[in-house]
Homo-oligomer: A and B are copies of this chain.
Amino acid sequence: MDEHGTCGHHDHAPHDHAHGPGRTADLVARAERLAQDLGLQFTALRRRTLEVVADEGRPLGAYDIAERLSAPGKRVAAVSVYRALDFLTEHGLVHRIASRNAFVPCEHGHGAGESAVFLICRRCGSVDETISAEIERSLDRTLAQAGFKPASRIVEIEGECGACQGRHEAE
């Protein structure tokens, strides 16, 4: 869809969150613990889907994931990926970026109540997940005032990440 970097990170401005194989292993371990505790099935397809999303440094569409999971002669259909993604998003292992129709690994291991803020860079396509108790509080106050009982929250900011600023000329 968009032709940004294959990683979403910038060698001269590394982010602070885990990345690559390390993050992937962490997420898989978290998933296995979670499945163990709740009596859920962390199947091979779900694990492989999680690995693909975690290995990529940028949001991936469901069809991209299906393509990466497919091998010559062993095709994985997008619908299967969607089901795996349902499981993974329900349990907070990956997040859906509504404004991009794409999925990113969770970078925080936040509890169910905490909601994330996604910073999406227009230029390089990277997505950063941050948690802010302050935003949470002001959101809660506004919702309470409106008499609205929240179930899920989407906060996505599109703009320019720190690394991409200061090279407007460097095209």
Task: List the interface of chain A (C-beta within 8 A of B).
Answer: 98-99, 117, 119, 121-122, 128, 130, 132, 134-135, 137-139, 141-143, 146-162, 165
Cβ–Cβ < 8 Å partners of A122 in chain B: 151
Give how many copies assemble into the complex.
2
Q: Is A130's CB under 8 angstroms from B142's CB?
A: yes
Q: Is B159's CB under 8 angstroms from A151's CB?
A: yes
Cβ–Cβ < 8 Å partners of A149 in chain B: 159-160, 165
- Expressed in whole angstroms, the minimum distance between the Cβ of A21 and any Cβ of chain B is 25
Q: Is B130's CB under 8 angstroms from A157's CB?
A: no
Q: Is A138's CB under 8 angstroms from B142's CB?
A: no
Known: A98-B98, A132-B138, A142-B117. A157 touches B162 (CB 8 A): no
Cβ–Cβ < 8 Å partners of A150 in chain B: 157-159
Q: Is A153's CB under 8 angstroms from B157's CB?
A: yes
Task: Show 12 residue pairs from A and B whose CB-CB distance is below 8 angstroms, ordered by the A residue.
Answer: A98-B154, A117-B139, A119-B146, A121-B148, A128-B148, A135-B138, A138-B138, A143-B157, A148-B162, A149-B160, A151-B158, A152-B157
**CA A81 to CA B128, docked complex, whole Å:** 33
- Expressed in whole angstroms, the minimum distance between the Cβ of A111 and any Cβ of chain B is 18
Q: Is B162's CB under 8 angstroms from A147's CB?
A: yes
Q: Is A147's CB under 8 angstroms from B159's CB?
A: no
Q: Which residue of B lies closest to A121 (CB)?
A: B148
Cβ–Cβ < 8 Å partners of A142 in chain B: 117, 130, 132, 134-135
